[in-house]
Chain A
Amino acid sequence: MSSTEALNLIFLPGVSTAEKVTNVSGRGVGMDVVKTNIEHVGGSVEIQTKLGEGSTFKIKVPLTLAIVPALVVRSVGRRFAIPQMNLVELVRLDAGQSGSGIELVHGAPVYRLRGRLLPLVYLDRELKLREEEPNGQNILVLQVDSRRFGLVVDEVHDTEEIVVKPLGKHLKGIRVYAGATIMGDGQLALILDVPGLAESAGIKTESPDGQTIKASALNTKDTVEKQKLVLFDGANGSRMAIPLNALARLEKLAGSDVERSGNEWVVQYRGQILPLIHLSRVLEVRRDGGLAPNDTTFPPPGSIDVLVIQENGRLFGLIVNTIIDIVEDTTEVRIPATRAGVLYSAVIGERVTEMLDVSGILQAPEQGVVERSKAMAVVPV
């Protein structure tokens, strides 16, 4: 056999030159795992070696691996990309009142988000972009391990799939950057490294009670698949949840923007007419078997919390009482549903929560929503 063939024997499972088997090595499966995983993503691995001199392992990986979805933002006119992976939600501060909602804990800015304080990091201050007081109209809620913080920027643009290009040797060491990308218009944008940004801003990424992530991994709960869930008060204090990936957007709309179209409530939303479904009405209907009296005032006072859902290519808005939180949890511990409109009840965030049956609600014949929208031309958002 040729020397290349002999070298490639290393990649065969079970081939080992170790005299002793330890708990981390010696079984001869390591290299097989390496080769399989690399080839699985379309790459290749090659060995070059010279006795007495050394060995070189060349791993080739196709560039397409380095495409990530990212949110493009602007601060002081410059564009930055933030990997979607660390992004939990966006909060828009009221125009003309960017001070509202932001409080100071002895000089450290925080934002009250659904009852919890979110430490704020101003991008223009971290990157020293602005000489005057740091500013911004939008807060990106970012998460690193178990800690969340808000990144304040001027503008938020779209989510895009970007190709991550590494920075040169002089810039590699700057921990707030993960790389750079070339945008569709040929312009460059820097990609922010969220853990690096948190570190430089002084945000500790351990969990608040001092336990590190390693400790919580011993918790058997973590061995079961967790998913991100949106917790909300559906109606009259009923704690409910839907998977985060079923949600298109979370919105707080002005009650005065709600209009009537026949018997239904709608709102003009991003260039389309969004049908609104009052969750309390729907859940009441299902239980009684008849239409509940319409005791909801029109137009609704103040603002309304809306979960914008996409079903079969159409958008719907579910009006809920309040949005509680976004959590990551398992739905292991559960019992079957106790009413229609619900899939099951599970322990989420340490409390019993009903999992909303989104498809079921949207297909409710009383709503007539699905039938009517067939006639409309809907432009996907």
Chain B
Amino acid sequence: MFGVESQNIQEVLRTVELTEVPLAPKAIAGLMNLRGQIVSALDLRQRLELNDRQKAHPPTGVVIRTVDGLMGLLVDGIGDVMDVDESTFEESPETLAPQMRSVIVGVHKLKGNLMHVLDTSSVCDLKGLQDAKA
């Protein structure tokens, strides 16, 4: 379960139609047509080194604003918009894998759950990651 600051989110897309880009970095799942604008789609599962999504569960798209323009994030699903405050926040532990440290800046300790706070500009920074689809 991850959290992204809502003011960075432009919109949510229930269905995502992607055009794959051969030779693109593995995390880039493809390009989408957002009302005439071409937006890259970053698969969050790939970026966060999680298991691949099951084919039966198509992703939801979250369009975020970054310094380099719009970026689409492919996620499993979205939950609520909630207000969280400092009191529940704690920084990521040292045991967190180093390449994830800049991406997951910390967690909010919610009831029964930990919400991993994502830094969107780090998420969109693919420098240094393994290049090109196999």
A residues bordering B, Cβ < 8 Å? 78, 127-129, 165, 167-171, 174, 176-177, 180, 182, 186-190
Contact = CB atoms under 8 A, between A and B. Distances in A.
Contacts, number: 55
A128 B24 contact: no
Interface in B67-123: 68-69, 71
A127 B22 contact: yes
B33 A187 contact: yes
13 contacts: A78-B19, A78-B22, A129-B22, A168-B39, A168-B40, A169-B68, A171-B28, A176-B23, A182-B33, A186-B33, A188-B32, A189-B19, A190-B21
Given A167-B38, A182-B38, A187 B19 contact: yes
Q: Give the interface SS of chain A, mostly helix, strand, loop or mixed.
A: loop
B28 A188 contact: no
Given A128-B133, A189-B19, A171 B24 contact: yes
B50 to A, nearest CB: 19
Interface string B19-56: 11111110010011100111110100000000000000
A69 B24 CA distance: 25
Contacts of B25: 170
Nearest to B70: A168
A177 B38 CA distance: 14
Contacts of A167: 21, 31, 38, 40
Taking residues whose C-beta sits less than 8 angstroms from the other chain, chain B's interface range is 20 to 34
A169 B70 CA distance: 11
A127 B23 contact: yes
B71 A128 contact: no
A120 to B, nearest CB: 19
B126 interface: yes
Contacts of B69: 168
A78 B33 contact: no
A171 B20 contact: no
Nearest to B22: A127
Given A168-B40, A188-B31, A189-B19, 14 more contacts: A127-B22, A129-B22, A167-B38, A167-B40, A168-B39, A168-B68, A168-B71, A170-B28, A171-B24, A174-B21, A174-B24, A182-B33, A182-B38, A188-B38
B74 to A, nearest CB: 14
A182 B36 contact: yes
A170 B68 CA distance: 10
A175 to B, nearest CB: 9
B92 to A, nearest CB: 25
Contact of B40 (A171, A176, A182): A171
Contacts of A174: 21, 23-24
B31 A170 contact: no
B118 to A, nearest CB: 17
Contacts of B38: 165, 167-168, 180, 182, 188
Nearest to A176: B23
Contacts of A188: 19, 31-33, 38
